[in-house]
Structure 1
């Protein structure tokens, strides 16, 4: 008897669906009641069942309700053609239907899945515990992200939707729709990790770094705050030129405009800045640009070179003191490094008749060491060939930093051909890989001439006494 009632019930529902199929514009309860010759209340109950199950649609026109057959895509067709992974469950979590994509992930056949409770599903390749947890009654969510660990392979990540579902018989369930977002999630993860690596590097370098995106500041490391003494908030709100000394602003402004006129070309400038505490620091700024489509990134690197600047100033002061001393001594001075003349004072210019440039061009080969000179020549440069070996041996014999100088006395020939008698002393000092040889020259021509005249008189007297 019960079976017969259910058959009649299904026949009545089928008759209403068939009637609505023939009347595409829709029908009211009264129209359907007249057409099927049934009681309006009975037809109304049947329509409510069809409406709840999603088999008919209802539109209201004033007081009238018009019913039409719902336009539905067959579930089997949706499952077959969808690229997503789809599984339909009843309210007891039994698998009603599942598409091929989902079965491929689970490594199961359709017979092994359909009709089974998902809690007892045994996949040989995939751990489905996270999926079970995400759709459990206690933790059911409309949308979430689930991860499947595939044996012997990397993880697969899916965006999951749980869609409440009503079946033709009025039963309720859910439809799981999984979209594979593994590549997107892994790419986002790689970007985050890359950004974190960049941030760690940028925060630990000794240089300040500011990144601009189309002229807008998007990043600054903490070293910038350390160099300037200002907080990030203060730097963003203040006028940049306010940290530049007044006397330098015009030049810095001009250089900045030059750089801005060629935004994609690298540029640099060196300038003094005034820290928040009033201390002056000297910074070296490099600006580089990278374009990515419509976005122009400018990377501005600040290096505090105050100590280097101060050291350079000390070196210059030391060099100036040395030059003042060297230019005011009575002796000539030649400094040789790696067989090259790097310095001569004005006294050596007077003794030799050669300028600084000529002495440096001639080098040792034109002064102390004479090479590749034909045997028919008596002299070359300042030093007579006869003295060449002697001078070479003296220079080689001097040990760096020994404090014991080498000495020589020889006749030289000035640029104008006038002979001069000199007394030379050779010392050496080593700093790192560089050995500097210092040769001081005293012009003792007058002493030599007086000594020679005295010797001649003594010789003449000795001749008279014989």
Structure 2
């Protein structure tokens, strides 16, 4: 039996191989993993940022995201980070925190922070502090923790944040400042010692200078790492000025997306890269930036050759290093291919709906969960007349026929047969003496996997009654004909006898 990592790897590999994404049903069929387990793994991958999800009609399509997962970037941080939702439940914890607390991610995600008893958060009124952050108050606290006989110092920052979907949340960032505190204590001792002696030796001054050089080298390495991450990101990154929108930084991915060099984009207004609707989107993001809040939306950008690039844009304020100011950061992801695919699907669905609606037969389709996806008005009217409910898109067969158990069992059996892959033709009688000629056939994707089923109905009740009437009239006509023949024969026999 495959373990958690193996199954997660199989699902990730399958999505990687499909340019336009896969549904839960197609992943379950291809991986031979249960649908419910596939759904749970996809939730984990989506939360971690490794997989994206797009709603297409009634289906959820999952695809490999091009952006660097936020979770992966946060795991590069030396801080201890934990994110809570508005119910004080953990929605994210980085590896540093999990390793220090010796916890598994599954033990933490979805658990209330007050139930975890984290040694790194020894606040007696932790719930109150979290609630205060949810109400918009940012707090900063320095405190000491003794663990395993070792005393460590932390600076805890609790700040309100917005989760995916716009829900409120709280970000808790714990910075280990033990070395800084030790260095501060060391300096205080030095100052005390300096007061006791007239001068400091040259060797001690050299040691202090070397220590400062080491700290500076470490900071430069950290900055270089961040720069490397940004330069190699496949997601476009722009930093415009807050007022005029003049681009002050652009990474190579962003320049390549629009066909420019980075030097050609520097100094240009970000508002010249889009149409009027895009300018409004950027203005809204700009106003949210001044309010120190995030924003996201869809935007159309113009490439150098005049082509339209469909993109998703995320706007967020970030603190400028060594200052108290904020920078306006724009993260831009090219979704042109996905948009083109979605438009093609919408066109196909519109065309198919028109064909179905224009048919003089009753037509309906369901997915593998026995949920109606589409049906024409003839089908809906007849279904409502016979069973009392209208099979609108999104409604389940089990709910529509729950008041008629026998009919529900019959209907599920008919649909199950076709969802198991059997294309067949049948004649069925339903309540009120209605008789239908029905053709069932499965719906398959490009790989042959079944993702739903369809049926086409013809009401033959009147046809049977017409046939019976014709048969009765035929019998009467034959009887009358036989009677006339008999009378003629008797008349002929009488003539012969008289002659």
TM-score scaled to structure 2, two decimals? 0.48
Per the alignment, residue 257 of structure 1 pairs with 283
Deviations 1:290-315 (A, max 9, x none): 34662102221111111111111111
**Residues of 2 paired with 1:183 and 1:356: CA distance?**
82
Per the alignment, residue 397 of structure 1 pairs with 417
How far did residue 328 of structure 1 move? 1.6
**Residues of 1 paired with 2:303 and 2:378: CA distance?**
47
C-alpha contact (below 8 Å) 2:242/2:286 kept by paired residues: no
C-alpha contact (below 8 Å) 1:213/1:296 kept by paired residues: no
Per the alignment, residue 359 of structure 1 pairs with 391
C-alpha contact (below 8 Å) 1:344/1:356 kept by paired residues: no
Per the alignment, residue 409 of structure 1 pairs with 428
Deviations 1:273-329 (A, max 9, x none): 221122221222111113466210222111111111111111111111211211122
How far did residue 226 of structure 1 move? 0.3
**Residues of 1 paired with 2:455 and 2:366: CA distance?**
8
How far did residue 427 of structure 1 move? 1.5
Unaligned runs of 5+ in 1: 1-76, 88-100, 102-176, 374-379, 414-418
**Residues of 2 paired with 1:82 and 1:410: CA distance?**
109
Number of residues of Structure 1 aligned to a counterpart in Structure 2: 279
Per the alignment, residue 227 of structure 2 pairs with 199
RMSD of aligned Cα (Å): 3.8
Per the alignment, residue 270 of structure 1 pairs with 298
How far did residue 241 of structure 1 move? 3.4
Are 1:451 and 2:470 an aligned pair?
no
How far did residue 450 of structure 1 move? 0.9
Superposition map of 1:293-308 within 5 A = 294-308=324-338
Question: CA 1:353/1:79 → structure 2, altered by over 3 Å: closer, same or farther?
Answer: closer
Please give the secondary structure, in 2, of the residue aligned with 1:398: helix
C-alpha contact (below 8 Å) 2:440/2:456 kept by paired residues: yes
How far did residue 181 of structure 1 move? 3.2
**Residues of 2 paired with 1:183 and 1:455: CA distance?**
109
Question: CA 1:78/1:207 → structure 2, altered by over 3 Å: closer, same or farther?
Answer: closer
Per the alignment, residue 455 of structure 2 pairs with 439
**Residues of 1 paired with 2:328 and 2:259: CA distance?**
23
How far did residue 430 of structure 1 move? 4.4
Radius of gyration: which is bigger?
Answer: 1
C-alpha contact (below 8 Å) 2:234/2:253 kept by paired residues: yes
Given candidates 373, 377, 386, the residue that maps to 1:346 is: 377
Per the alignment, residue 422 of structure 1 pairs with 436
**Residues of 1 paired with 2:366 and 2:254: CA distance?**
44
Unaligned runs of 5+ in 2: 1-192, 483-499
**Residues of 2 paired with 1:281 and 1:289: CA distance?**
24
How far did residue 438 of structure 1 move? 0.8
Question: CA 1:391/1:453 → structure 2, altered by over 3 Å: closer, same or farther?
Answer: farther
Deviations 1:231-259 (A, max 9, x none): 22322233433332xxx32x333333322
Question: CA 1:456/1:184 → structure 2, altered by over 3 Å: closer, same or farther?
Answer: farther
C-alpha contact (below 8 Å) 2:438/2:457 kept by paired residues: yes
C-alpha contact (below 8 Å) 1:206/1:223 kept by paired residues: yes
Moved more, 287-296 or 432-441: 432-441
